[in-house]
A and B are shown apart, each in its own frame.
Chain A
């Protein structure tokens, strides 16, 4: 009799699935990615395509080796990792470097830990950091934007757009003091990684995700706050040495991190208080690495450091149990 294995309640389901969530995030990322292609031309498309193809192949290979269902490669997680990594790379990155980074991200960043849900670190950022350390020159060679002219003769594609002869330019982060004006930063009219330039499109994608309930607003808000507040204070104290808060927010990968990278559900805390701490920590670390550290961009490092703290945050910062008077009272017993 004890062998009977009844099914527990509930006997209905909301219909959400991880695949569903993954594709919604991909959808939210698409405008910024396509805008990157518009700005940087065919080289950007090459990076995107090589990332996506290599990530899917790597995922498929890992699933085959583990004897898992190979259809799971299409669950959207590998695609998302590829997209995020590609968007954080310069458009002029050679295709083989991008592919190598993606294979690394999917295999050593995710599958070796047991696949989706088990990785402690954001795979895309792991791939990004590995590439930055192994290929520092290629990864900091920023291509200037080369917007195609749309005139009376139709679309005029210049040589840079076609990837024949790229012009390199400095990212605003390299010399934050000589500031491009903030409208240009928000719209993405500056050199940078291929998907990180338009803060506006990224933020729109993020708001879409919040609206659909895929992410909660705590991490983005805390990250923006954690970056903006110290940057503004430092800028007020010494405007010549430190860039303004707006410049920090709108340049580099800060917005992408706020809405898409730090909010990666596998590697971020789950409780509202934990998410606030996590976001604020990411923001503060981004500012510290950019301002004090030797790297011009600190998003990937900041996110990876906070990823490492996630289990601890999740263990200690729990939501308040319904009806519990004081948080301190409850935590005592823990």
Chain B
């Protein structure tokens, strides 16, 4: 257990991979749901405005909803069919919150509604490239779901020189990026070239964990012709897929806390995003489907599968043979950072990269005990924090104390909860603290707004009162004069 290989960053854990469940199977493309459910609210709370109404026929790739600005990416119909309902429906949020959802039935046809001839990205300038990416509704497929076009635009402004492609995929079970690299290496490389042009960088590094030899070989073969591409094999260590840690492992640069990677001239994108960007620029095809890993010990036949955005989890699982044992928990994403699904009848959104159904045995849930200050969490924290201190402060609602211990730097990677011998739900304490801090911040904004409004109102009322007074004064003068004149006439 004395690992003599130097670790690229301190901390980290080695959870058991279970990647063999799906690693050897090629991506299945046959799945078509009979209806899709598209949420109109994005995770950041912004609402999309719907461009279609119930009863409309829509085609695959048709723009059906758009946001008020570029931060809210547009939504396209993933299938050919008919809008049958617009109603509040469960989202994939762990608390089972409902949001306005568009329901489209699918008529089974698979062709795109509009076919655009392939365009040569070399002839487009960087702003046109970014616009195409934005119009296609591409978001980061690694999980964060940030609009990719915006990311490219900001990177250009920050004069980024290196594009780092994240093929880390450090989460256990997930192999969709691995398979994507093996099967679509050429498209990924083309997507990277497009991104390089869009941001004006000249160097691309593709970082892949050393447990994916086939993907490394495929990417190597596809990128041979490009001298500005390099492949960096990084050790498999969780959380290698975190942006900061991948940068450290691939380039040796540590991004200071509170700073964005672009400030150091590095932009990180996921391999799946690279493929989506290629599709968006080359064929003007919007992001309407993605490859996800459906795995876990409760799934009958685990697989990597292309699913249209908005497919129900239950249908995807049925496509993979259903469940063979009782699934204690269903998870969107990997077991380390994924969110628990409130029900199997929720739609898959753009940022879900995996679907796991785990039995009780694999979850290994135990009741938590008191902290014994063993320091394991400090040892494994990849950000160099003291999770047990942050949790203690969060437990007493002392958000500031938690922030002083570095809560803002916390990635919520879960390494601490994973290792904790007392099984303390550390991550949940941090989620709790973080969401409270966010809520406080928005309350502060709201009360500042309220303050401004009431001050404006008071000024307005004062003005109105002054105007009324003035009007009264002038009115009083006039009747007086009238009376005088009346009196004069009477006399």
Chains A and B in contact, CB within 8 Å: yes
CB nearest to B387 among chain A residues:
A270
The total of interchain contacts (Cβ-Cβ below 8 angstroms) comes to 170
Q: C-beta contact mask, B95-109 vs A, less than 8 Å → 1, else 0?
A: 111000000000000
Q: Is A182 an interface residue (CB 8 A)?
A: no
Query: Which are the 8 A-B pairs with shortest beta-carbon distances?
Result: A270-B375, A8-B428, A10-B414, A6-B94, A323-B254, A117-B370, A265-B374, A13-B364
Given contacts A12-B336, A18-B369, are A319 and B254 in contact (CB under 8 A)?
no
Q: What's the minimum C-beta distance from A231 to chain B, rounded to whole angstroms?
A: 28
Q: Is B244 an interface residue (CB 8 A)?
A: yes
The residues in B between 1 and 37 inclusive whose CB is less than 8 angstroms from any CB of A are 1-2, 9-10, 13, 15
- Segment at the A interface, from B55-63, B119-127, B159-167, B416-424: B416-424
By the criterion CB–CB under 8 Å, are B372 and A14 in contact? no
For the complex, what is the distance from the CA of A21 to the CA of B383, rounded to whole Å?
Answer: 25
By the criterion CB–CB under 8 Å, are A21 and B418 in contact? no
Q: Name the contact of A116 in the complex, choosing from B337, B370, B388 (C-beta under 8 A).
A: B370
Q: Is A178 an interface residue (CB 8 A)?
A: no
Q: Is B344 an interface residue (CB 8 A)?
A: no
CB nearest to A333 among chain B residues:
B404
Q: Is A7 an interface residue (CB 8 A)?
A: yes
Given contacts A17-B421, A314-B389, are A7 and B340 in contact (CB under 8 A)?
yes
Given contacts A11-B358, A12-B336, are A17 and B427 in contact (CB under 8 A)?
no
Q: Is B265 an interface residue (CB 8 A)?
A: no
Most buried by A among B356, B358, B369: B369
- Give the chain A neighbours of B383 by CB distance below 8 A: 321-322
By the criterion CB–CB under 8 Å, are A318 and B405 in contact? yes
- The dominant DSSP class at the B interface is loop
Number of interface residues of B (CB under 8 A): 71
- Give the B-binding residues of A (Cβ under 8 A): 1-2, 4, 6-18, 20-21, 114-118, 211-213, 216, 265-271, 275, 314, 318-325, 333-334
By the criterion CB–CB under 8 Å, are B366 and A13 in contact? yes
- Give the chain B neighbours of A114 by CB distance below 8 A: 370
Q: Is B468 an interface residue (CB 8 A)?
A: no
CB nearest to B15 among chain A residues:
A12
Q: Name the contact of B255 in the complex, choosing from A21, A115, A118, A323 (C-beta under 8 A).
A: A323
Q: Is B386 an interface residue (CB 8 A)?
A: yes
By the criterion CB–CB under 8 Å, are B370 and A115 in contact? yes
By the criterion CB–CB under 8 Å, are B95 and A1 in contact? yes
Q: Is B232 an interface residue (CB 8 A)?
A: no
Q: Is B412 an interface residue (CB 8 A)?
A: yes
- Give the chain B neighbours of A333 by CB distance below 8 A: 404
For the complex, what is the distance from the CA of A14 to the CA of B373, rounded to whole Å?
Answer: 17
Q: Is B365 an interface residue (CB 8 A)?
A: yes
By the criterion CB–CB under 8 Å, are A9 and B421 in contact? no
- Give the chain A neighbours of B254 by CB distance below 8 A: 322-323
By the criterion CB–CB under 8 Å, are B374 and A318 in contact? no
By the criterion CB–CB under 8 Å, are B423 and A17 in contact? yes
For the complex, what is the distance from the CA of A211 to the CA of B428, rounded to whole Å?
Answer: 31
Q: Could you list 12 further interchain pairs (A-B, Cβ under 8 angstroms) beyond the known A9-B339, A11-B358?
A: A4-B95, A8-B428, A10-B336, A13-B365, A16-B421, A17-B423, A18-B374, A117-B422, A271-B386, A319-B381, A323-B254, A323-B259
By the criterion CB–CB under 8 Å, are B338 and A11 in contact? yes
By the criterion CB–CB under 8 Å, are B386 and A314 in contact? yes
By the criterion CB–CB under 8 Å, are A12 and B427 in contact? no
The residues in B between 208 and 267 inclusive whose CB is less than 8 angstroms from any CB of A are 244-245, 248, 254-257, 259
- Give the chain B neighbours of A4 by CB distance below 8 A: 95-96, 342
Q: Name the contact of A1 in the complex, choosing from B96, B336, B372, B406 (C-beta under 8 A).
A: B96
CB nearest to A5 among chain B residues:
B95
Q: What's the minimum C-beta distance from B13 to chain A, rounded to whole angstroms?
A: 7
Q: C-beta contact mask, B173-205 vs A, less than 8 Å → 1, else 0?
A: 000000000000000000000000000000000
By the criterion CB–CB under 8 Å, are A324 and B256 in contact? yes
By the criterion CB–CB under 8 Å, are A213 and B1 in contact? yes
- Give the chain A neighbours of B381 by CB distance below 8 A: 319
The residues in B between 316 and 344 inclusive whose CB is less than 8 angstroms from any CB of A are 329, 331, 333, 335-340, 342
- Give the chain A neighbours of B423 by CB distance below 8 A: 13, 17
Q: Is B378 an interface residue (CB 8 A)?
A: yes
> 28 A-B contacts, Cβ less than 8 Å apart?
A2-B95, A4-B95, A4-B342, A8-B431, A9-B335, A12-B172, A13-B365, A14-B418, A14-B419, A16-B420, A17-B422, A116-B372, A117-B372, A118-B370, A265-B374, A270-B386, A319-B378, A319-B385, A321-B406, A322-B10, A322-B244, A322-B248, A322-B254, A322-B382, A322-B384, A322-B409, A323-B244, A333-B404
